[in-house]
């Protein structure tokens, strides 16, 4: 193994690295997945040195202790293709996409606009049928899982009913499921407490800020205790600071519920900050370019956003994203 001194590199970039070890631990074989390439030419010609440092970071942060006890469901997608039929023929949205999210895993999917991220999520939610390939959620078809209320969705917009208070909005799924009023109120109140809105239970959506509305939407998605949570750019309409706050909230809630999360976004930092694994999609038709395991310790805090290893992952993801786009271009021309 290459022996490295990290200090030289890191200082060059003006970042503080807490006590770089003289002897980095050797990474076990296969610490990085085959597909992942560390950032190239990050520091001019010193790419080899960086590689070793990068491996060190990955290995050193493996000791995350979020082993969720509650076995939930895993999402399994095999060779999924979705094609939309239009007047001028069919448009492929997703092509030959396979992915597996283990029980309780937080998987983020990033990709450029129009790469079929939302299509993927809608297919997993059973809202659109796959053209070919299979999807199973906890071993059953998405449609079945949806009817069993094991899947929940959070959309880009907080889709709340304006004439219902926050609590009544959270109650909607329970009401449809035919719960009694007292049980409904009690459960909704508990979930609102989980998202930190118990004080606003009787406020109407128009009285709440965008971030609060999205938290109500999250509560509504969580109220039936879904095993799989599908989030479609849920925070994209919020300002940076509320978004960051909600990231921490979401992680806290996720760790409490142990749900399997599929989080679609086009924001790199968001994906890296939240996920166990980031899948990078290329555009039209969408397919997975690469997969980046994010081995940052949990619980993650906002301080992480300014840390070196976090930024390295963001760079890694950005390069993968760009590579995917170039490949897609090469295919088009």
Instruction: Report how far residue 281's alpha carbon sits from residue 325's, in angstroms, rounded to the nearest whole number.
Output: 9
Is 120 in contact with 197 (CB distance < 8 Å)? Answer: no
162 binds other proteins (CB under 8 A): yes
180 binds other proteins (CB under 8 A): no
44 binds other proteins (CB under 8 A): no
The structure tokens listed for 218 are: 């999250």
68 binds other proteins (CB under 8 A): no
Q: Which residues of 270-291 are buried (b: 16+ CB within 10 A; e: fewer)?
A: bbbbbbbbbbbbbbbbbbbbbb
278 binds other proteins (CB under 8 A): no
Binding region for other proteins (CB under 8 A) out of 89-97, 143-151, 233-241, 298-306: 143-151
205 binds other proteins (CB under 8 A): yes
Binding region for other proteins (CB under 8 A) out of 1-9, 79-87, 201-209, 301-309: 201-209
Q: Is 133 exposed, middle or buried (0-12, 13-18, 19+ CB in 10 A)?
A: middle
163 binds other proteins (CB under 8 A): yes
Q: Enumerate residues 214-233 that contact other proteins by CB under 8 A.
A: 217, 220, 224
The least CB distance from residue 128 to other proteins, in Å, is 10
175 binds other proteins (CB under 8 A): yes
Query: Where are any strands of DSSP class E within the chain?
Result: 75-86, 89-101, 106-110, 132-137, 151-154, 228-232, 260-265, 277-282, 287-293
The least CB distance from residue 196 to other proteins, in Å, is 21
The least CB distance from residue 190 to other proteins, in Å, is 18
157 binds other proteins (CB under 8 A): yes
The least CB distance from residue 187 to other proteins, in Å, is 14
Where do we find the tokens 């094991």?
Answer: 150
Is 299 in contact with 1 (CB distance < 8 Å)? Answer: no
The least CB distance from residue 138 to other proteins, in Å, is 16
Residue 287, phi then psi, degrees to nearest 5:
-150, 160
**Count of Cβ atoms closer than 10 Å to residue 241 Cβ:** 10
- As beta bridge partners, residue 282 has 287
The least CB distance from residue 204 to other proteins, in Å, is 5
The least CB distance from residue 159 to other proteins, in Å, is 4
Pairing of strands 287-293, 75-86: unpaired
Nearer to other proteins, 72 or 319 (CB): 72
Nearer to other proteins, 52 or 217 (CB): 217
Where do we find the tokens 């606003």?
Answer: 200
305 binds other proteins (CB under 8 A): no
The structure tokens listed for 145 are: 């899982």
Instruction: Report how far residue 232's alpha carbon sits from residue 121's, in angstroms, rounded to the nearest whole number.
Output: 7
Out of 31, 66, 141, 172, which residue is the one contacting other proteins (CB under 8 A)?
172
Out of 2, 15, 62, 161, which residue is the one contacting other proteins (CB under 8 A)?
161
204 binds other proteins (CB under 8 A): yes
Nearer to other proteins, 152 or 269 (CB): 152
Is 105 in contact with 277 (CB distance < 8 Å)? Answer: yes
Point out which residues bind other proteins (CB under 8 A). 125, 127, 146-147, 149, 151-153, 155-157, 159, 161-163, 172-173, 175-177, 204-206, 217, 220, 224
């Amino acid at each position: 193994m290459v022996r490295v001194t990290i200090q030289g590199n890191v200082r060059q970039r003006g970042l503080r690295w807490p006590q770089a070890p003289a002897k980095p631990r050797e990474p076990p074989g296969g610490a990085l997945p085959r597909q992942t390439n560390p950032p190239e030419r990050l520091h001019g010609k010193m790419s080899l040195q960086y590689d070793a440092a990068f491996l060190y970071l990955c290995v050193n942060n493996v000791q995350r202790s979020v082993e969720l006890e509650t076995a939930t469901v895993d999402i399994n997608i095999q060779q999924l293709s979705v094609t939309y039929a239009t007047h001028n023929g069919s448009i492929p949205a997703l092509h030959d996409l396979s992915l597996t999210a283990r029980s309780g895993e937080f998987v983020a999917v990033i990709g450029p606009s129009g790469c079929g991220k939302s299509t993927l999520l809608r297919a997993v939610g059973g809202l659109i049928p796959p053209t070919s390939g299979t999807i199973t959620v906890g071993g059953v078809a998405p449609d079945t899982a949806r009817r069993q209320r094991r899947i929940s969705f959070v959309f880009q917009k907080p889709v709340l009913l304006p004439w219902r208070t926050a609590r009544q909005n959270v109650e909607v799924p329970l009401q449809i499921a035919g719960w009694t009023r007292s049980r409904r109120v009690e459960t909704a109140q508990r979930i609102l407490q989980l998202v930190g809105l118990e004080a606003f239970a009787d406020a109407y959506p128009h009285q709440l800020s965008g971030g609060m509305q999205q938290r109500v939407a999250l509560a509504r998605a969580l109220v039936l205790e879904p095993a799989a949570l599908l989030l479609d750019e849920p925070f994209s309409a919020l300002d940076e600071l509320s978004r960051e706050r909600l990231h921490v909230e979401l992680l806290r809630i996720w760790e409490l519920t142990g749900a399997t999360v599929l989080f679609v976004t086009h924001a790199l930092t968001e994906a890296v900050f939240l996920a166990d694994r980031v899948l990078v999609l290329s555009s039209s038709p969408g397919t997975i370019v690469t997969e980046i395991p994010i081995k940052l310790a949990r619980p993650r805090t906002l301080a992480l956003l300014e840390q070196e290893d976090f930024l390295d992952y963001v760079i890694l993801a950005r390069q993968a994203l760009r590579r995917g786009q170039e490949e897609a271009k090469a295919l088009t021309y």
